[in-house]
Structure 1
């Protein structure tokens, strides 16, 4: 469009008028007329083109000033190709690249700038800053000095030189340089801002904050001063104050700036969240505040538009959730999404994966966390501890133990404190010692764990962190009273420490102190609801409160005369009710023996009674009914066991019409009463001896007496394999030999054996084991001489969880009876269900 006499006229109408005026020129001047017309058209088009380029150039500059850097850069680069002689294009490109933070492009354009052409002041300053920010100190300082020489009135060049010297680590020269900013007084903000920057670069953050406060007092409304004070607050670690400062100046700081300060404050809360609090209800307040602020930031524009910022917020929130001991479902812990978290958060990711019972994933996360550079010794130990437990739970026990033992070996036992000539105990060594022996406990190396922790606890009797794992090792070794004593000592030092309370509750459960367990569990649930050990204790407590059903079914067969008469299939079911008044249970029993010998009769029995489980005492009274084809007969059984201490226990059994009688005796109408006395000594599960004397009086006036001694000694232990040397000694005598059942005058047997147990699979409560027992011994029967005894037994046990367990046992035995060798084969399946 074109304005003609106050009205708009299109270019098309101008062309039409020009053509209409062609007839006004004489014909003889047609050549001149065409030349004039073409020249006029060319001038008009050239003017329009120049005007169009000028308009586009200004638009690109405006776009750059509005933050649309890439489109402006693309347009100017195209323009530069068409107008290579215009130097202003290169200058503007340097400006825009500097605004966009593209330092290398600024440097590249500067290096291609003609050396004989001086740069304008603003471009020279931007170029110097680009070199400084690119850590090219010498070129930056040269450019700043050039600016100081050419533009002495512009303090920015002097300030830049001082800052460049500070960034290069030349603090003294930088402070000397700052003196050139006259007047070098507390009223000159340029001088103060420069010194503040120098102190921050030197790591003297509190001195920088003091100088920034002086600048703020001199000119509180100056933008540079306000921004510098924010930077000093941030450098000094005063993140809450920095966040509040930016909130007070919304016209200076952008939403993105405020989001960064809020993220800093949330990170500070995350770091503070694991610290002890004055009261237990305050324990997670700091972590909750951090998570709430991080959730708010997750909805901000900075989170949605800045992947780096979003990654940081996710990582900090992950750490806060880990500190909060929160449910892993509140964060994304899938291994394929681990890349969304920064490297410093991988340890928390591993902890949450371990809490969610994904130990294989936790191993990978902890290994990535340990691969992070510049880890301090304390952090590395913490990460290695998490890795060790992850390896343990993932079934890689040998690797976990090797890691823990290497950590203990590499950690010095003492440390030197500045100003103290006497070496002090190293807490890090104690931590590695506890870790190693805790792994010993969980992998079955109980004897080593007990000995190591007892020795360490004797050297540091007030160290609660040593006494608790010692008590756990003692409890798992069948020594709950020793564990109770250690925990009582620990209670005097730390009565409310969660590990002390939880271990006390677990020990009380083993001691059948059920009321004490209930009180301690209630306290632990109220004060430590997110602790995983509390959850495990709750499961143990609920398991104790359930009914229990035991089903057994087995067979026995032999290739001889079936001396006992017990060949056949035996099935039995026994039920225990849920606890009544904590210690009492009702029990019921039913069984059936389907014989497969020439006796041709079966045995059926039923019974009911009461069981008592209390501290040091356990007893059961059962009234039963028996029927072996000669009518119903009533029987009774009383069993009492008493634990004198952790090592000694005694027990006794009285049976009226005992069920433990040869089937051949029952077929002949003979019953028996039985009495037994037991004595047991143990020193953990590795070493024990038990003796039992049994007297049986048959209704045919025969009296049988027997003595059985069994012992066990652990000879090899590893996380997956255990080997025990066992010995069984047995002697028996009968008053009369001429009876319808096997009744030798004297009988002796000694069978040493080797038992191998193999852990096939374990994943938390789920466990599969197998065992093989091989025995070779000697049997002697009066009147028939001696003969060899051989036995082999195989066991397979599967535990699904605390409430379901099934076992299989197969045995083959070869021994002489009345001088004739017999082979006996037996098998049994046992199922335990708690409901």
Structure 2
């Protein structure tokens, strides 16, 4: 064999094809490779396709949809991809996507039964009733053995509001008897859609009796329980079937039950200790749900739980610190909870924030009349406490104007009183009371109460208006009448306690307060009453310091700086207080001596009677002298009172008399008539016997008539008539034989600031009148006084008064200037 032959044989053994056929060899090799790759690719796609379907069936919808959409782009001719996408979108609860894919489906290709049913349901879920019904009818025609299409048509008719047609359609589900669960479930659905929830529940119970283990029957029974408002039973039903209902489903039912408890929590209970049991149960369940996966993973569910818990907290009247009421966090609550947010903010003394919350609550659509009135009431009080009194009154007056006084009940030809009008009337006049329009409040509520004498809700605000007008006895009578109708109503008991305090019935007030604290511990009025009681039990210190100066003859004889401190002890045996005082007058006249005094005594405060006895020591540079003072006042009624004062060595004596070694004893008798703070007259007769045998007698009559009232400004017309006579004229102190003065004045009071107990007011009094002095004729009198008063709370007050007076004195014009600062502290 030659060398060439050996080489050819070797080449034949190396390759599959002879060297001379290299082109054919490459062709078959490439074809084989392509065939193998195609088979592998097809196998790979097939494996991925099945995985996507499995993922969808396991609830992983988005990854399956994304994979199938990519596959569809690469295989646009495969119709099965579009069908599977429609199925998965339906499983994922995306009806619009199902409809979109259906609309791109070739019209000449009929849909399989399951996809046709899913498409019809998608149109039904999208509330497109006509195309849904058309598809259901197509399914009934093409697949007459599948009752699901008939059920779907009946349900679609029910959703469209065609109840009669839906019930007629249900008769096509054969047999139409109570042994056919499909028929029963369809009837149940129809009745639920029509709002006949208890009829729906009856058919669900029938279906449950036939097939108690069927999943559709169990789910339908849950829906009927929920629709019928049986939320506790629905929650327990899902708890009994954990393999059918998910944790999210159970959380929804628990939230429904918690909301039901929240709605029930304001209702009256059999006993007072049970008052907050329902609210506590609601809050406990809501706190449990706040730690659930549904709360953490579902923002809408979380907002609902927060809102319901906020309402329960409002009912519970808890301290606002237990919930988040910051205005910047309001978005975490649903709209229906804004009123409770406003109530809690108002309870936390944040009225400006409460105004915003109530306004947002009122902006919610579809509020019924009763709810709107309740929200407007909260808004009115928020406006009041935030210093916008005019807006609060305008809102209350508009509410009363817009609300009819009577209403017509079906079947009753006689108009009946409208409770909404009564609520608006009470709100308006309560605001009148709190803004100082007391006369209007008393008159309006008095007329309304006379027309409805058994209405406790009218008598209590009337009593409050009377009490704040200085008429506690009238308030007491009204509250006694209210007590006969509602002996344990909160407002009755609290108002009785406040009235008892004003009447100095301290034991009665203490008992009523103890009852209110035990039974209504979270009521804000009880908290305010407790503050009043604690203020009554404190020591009291009154500090006064003032000056008086003139450029004339110093009629008063008290020029200089006067400082006085008086202390009252905490109550002793309810009605008694020990007192001590000390004072100093630093004169600035040519007499050049000072006056000091110290004293101690006892005060009594009881019903209708008040008295004070003080023993004092006086020193004006001529040794210590003992003095005494007895004051007695008796209130005959809410309108009339009398009083008297007896002073031995009175401190109310001109400094010039003391410098001359002259002392005086003084007696005074007072008579007062008042009709609230707006209208009063007082007459006081004073007799003074000096140690130099001079006798001075004086009569003073003062009166006040309110001429203008608004929440911020009050105007009073005042009159002072004064007459005085002295037995002897030739004395070292001012002692004219006869002296008369008549000074009408106008007093304007302006409320500068108020925030709950904190209050700042100013007042200006202008007076111009006539003065007559025997031997010197007539002259004019002019006076101007300015007052500034600040009250921090019940236990701290400070006031400033400045006055300028111009009057004749022995024929010469005198200008007198005075000022005083007074500080009251309770500790």
> Are 2:604 and 2:610, in contact at CA under 8 Å, matched by a contact in 1?
yes
Q: Residue 553 of structure 2 contacts residue 809 of structure 2 at CA under 8 Å; is this kept in 1?
A: no
User: Given the alignment, which residue of 19, 22, 38 partners 1:30?
Assistant: 22
Shift in Å, 1:18: 18
Q: So what's the TM-score if we normalise by structure 1?
A: 0.97
1:110-509 superposed matches below 5 A: 110-509=102-501
Aligned to 1:789: 781
Secondary structure at the aligned position of 2:273 is classed as helix
Hey, what's the Cα distance between the residues in 2 that align with 1:140 and 1:611?
89
Contact 2:158 2:166 in 1 (8 A): yes
Does the 8 Å CA contact 2:11/2:19 hold for their aligned counterparts? no
Contact 2:593–2:621 at 8 Å: present in 1 too? yes
Contact persistence 2:742–2:771 (CA under 8 A)? yes
Change (3 A) 1:24 1:796: same
> Alpha-carbon deviation of 1:32?
1.9
Q: Any idea what the Cα deviations from partners look like across 1:286-340, whole Å, max 9, x if unmatched?
A: 1111111111111111111111111111111111111111111111111111111
Give the superposition deviation at 1:493: 0.9
The structure-2 alpha-carbon separation of the partners of 1:584 and 1:396, relative to structure 1 and needing over 3 Å to count, comes to: same
Q: CA deviation at 1:562?
A: 2.3
Match of 2:533? 541
Aligned counterparts of 2:513 and 2:650: Cα–Cα separation in 1: 42
Question: Are 1:74 and 2:66 matched, yes or no?
Answer: yes
1:320-363 superposed Cα distances (whole Å, 9 cap, x missing partner): 11111111111111111111111111111111111111111111
Equivalence for 1:603: 595
CA distance in 2: counterparts of 1:296 and 1:436, whole angstroms: 42
Post-superposition shift, 1:14? 30
1:167-216 C-alpha deviation (Å, 9 max, x unpaired): 00111111111111111111111111111101110111111111111111
Q: How many residues align?
A: 827
Pairwise CA distance, 1:12: 35
Offset from partner CA, 1:100-138 (integer Å, 9 cap, x none)? 111111111111111111111111111110100111000
Instruction: Write out per-residue CA displacement over residues 499-552 of structure 1, whole angstroms, 9 at most, x where no aligned residue.
Output: 111000000000000000110000000011111100000000000000001111
Partner Cα separation in structure 1 for residue 268 and residue 2 of structure 2: 81
- More deviation in 590-599 or 134-143? 590-599
1:79 and 1:22 mapped to 2: Cα distance? 43
Pick which of 31-40 and 598-607 moved more: 31-40
CA distance, structure 1, for counterparts of residue 173 and residue 556 of structure 2? 112
Q: Deviations over 1:66-94 (max 9, x none)?
A: 22222222222222222222211211111
Distance across 2 between alignment mates of 1:747 and 1:286: 75
**Matched-pair contact (CA < 8 Å) for 2:602–2:612:** yes
Does the residue aligned with 2:15 lie in a helix, a strand or coil? helix
Hey, what's the Cα distance between the residues in 2 that align with 1:759 and 1:188? 78
The verdict on how the C-alpha distance between 1:145 and 1:567 changes in structure 2, with shifts beyond 3 A counting, is: same
Indicate how the Cα distance of structure 1 residues 48 and 701 shifts in structure 2: closer, same or farther if over 3 A, else same: same
Secondary structure of the corresponding residue to residue 821 of structure 1: strand
Q: By how many angstroms is 1:26 displaced?
A: 2.5
* CA displacement, residues 34-89 of structure 1 (integer Å, 9 cap, x when unaligned): 22222222222222222222222222222222222222222222222222222112
Q: Which moved more, 1:181-190 or 1:559-568?
A: 559-568
Task: Find the counterpart in structure 2 of residue 620 from structure 1.
Answer: 612
Change in 2 beyond 3 A, CA 1:42/1:471? same
- Taking structure 1 as reference, are residues 813 and 249 closer, same or farther at Cα in structure 2, changes over 3 Å only? same
Going from structure 1 to structure 2, the CA distance change for 1:16 and 1:502 (only over 3 Å counts) comes to farther
How many angstroms apart in 1 are the aligned matches of 2:128 and 2:162? 14
How far 1:626 sits from its partner (Å)?
Answer: 1.0
Matched residue SS, 1:635:
strand
Structure 1 distance, partners of 2:640, 2:224, is: 70
Q: How many angstroms apart in 2 are the aligned matches of 1:186 and 1:790?
A: 100
Structure 1 gap segments, 5+ residues each: 1-8
1:12/1:694 CA distance change after superposition, 3 Å: farther
1:783-824: CA deviations, max 9, x gaps?
Answer: 001100000000010101111111111100000110000111
Distance 1:48 1:604 in 2: 119
CA distance in 1, matches of 2:591, 2:263: 79
Q: What's the offset of the Cα at 1:149?
A: 1.1
* CA positional deviation for 1:258: 1.0
Alpha-carbon deviation of 1:16? 24
Name the CA distance, whole Å, in 1 between partners of 2:145 and 2:74. 37
Instruction: Say whether the 8 Å CA contact 2:476–2:499 is kept in structure 1.
Output: yes
Mark the CA change 1:785 to 1:267 in structure 2 (over 3 Å): closer, same or farther: same
> Which range moved further: 91-100 or 164-173?
91-100
Change (3 A) 1:159 1:20: farther
Alpha-carbon distance change, 625 to 17 in structure 1, aligned in 2, over 3 angstroms: farther
Deviates more, 1:711-720 or 1:406-415: 406-415
Give the direction of change, closer, same or farther, for the CA distance of 1:757–1:40 in structure 2 (3 Å limit).
Answer: same
Structure 1: distance between partners of 2:310 and 2:10: 77
Distance 1:151 1:330 in 2: 61
Match of 2:42 among 31, 37, 50: 50
Deviations 1:407-460 (A, max 9, x none): 111111111111111111111111111111111111101001111111111111
- Going from structure 1 to structure 2, the CA distance change for 1:422 and 1:38 (only over 3 Å counts) comes to same
**C-alpha separation between the residues in 1 aligned to 2:201 and 2:12?**
80
Contact 2:12 2:19 in 1 (8 A): no
Where 2:745 maps in the other structure, the secondary structure is strand
Describe the superposition over 1:644-697 as per-residue Cα deviations: whole angstroms up to 9, x where unpaired: 110000111111111101111111111111110111000000000001000111
Rounded to whole Å, the distance in 1 between the matches of 2:3 and 2:173 is 60
Deviation at 1:22, TM superposition (A): 5.7
What is the rounded CA distance, in whole Å, between the counterparts of 2:503 and 2:216 in structure 1?
Answer: 71
| 1:561 CA drift (Å) | 3.0
Change beyond 3 A, Cα 1:264–1:361: same
Cα distance, 1:564 vs structure 2: 2.7
Between 1:488-497 and 1:51-60, the stretch displaced more is 51-60
Shift of 1:15: 26
The residue number in structure 1 matching 2:657 is 665
State the distance in 1 between where 2:509 and 2:579 align.
24
Q: In terms of mean alpha carbon deviation, does 703-712 or 567-576 score higher?
A: 567-576
Shift of 1:147: 0.9
Residue 708 of structure 2: SS of its match in structure 1? strand
Q: Could you report, residue by residue, the CA deviation over 1:565-593 in whole angstroms, capped at 9, with x for unpaired residues?
A: 32211111111110011111111111111
- Per-residue Cα deviation, 1:727-758 (whole angstroms, up to 9, x for no partner): 00000011111111111110000000000001
- Closer, same or farther in 2 for the Cα pair 1:331/1:815, shift >3 Å? same
Give the drift of 1:29: 2.1
Moved more, 534-543 or 320-329: 320-329
Q: CA deviation at 1:25?
A: 3.5
Alpha-carbon spacing, 1:11–1:579, altered in 2? closer, same or farther (3 Å) = farther
Structure 1 CA distance, aligned partners of 2:753 and 2:647?
41
What SS is found at the alignment partner of 1:352?
helix
Cα distance in 2 between the residues matched to 1:223 and 1:173: 27
CA RMSD in angstroms comes to 3.7
Structure 2's unaligned 5+ residue stretches are none
Give the Cα–Cα distance (whole angstroms) in 2 for the partners of residues 740 and 11 of structure 1.
170
Question: Does 2:10 match 1:15?
Answer: no
Change (3 A) 1:710 1:141: same
CA distance in 1 between counterparts of 2:9 and 2:326 reads 77
CA-to-aligned-CA distance 1:131-180 (integer Å, 9 cap, x gap):
00111000000111111111111111110001000000111111111111
- CA deviation profile, 1:570-618 (whole Å, cap 9, x unmatched): 1111111100111111111111111111111111111111111111111
**SS of aligned partner of 2:429:** helix
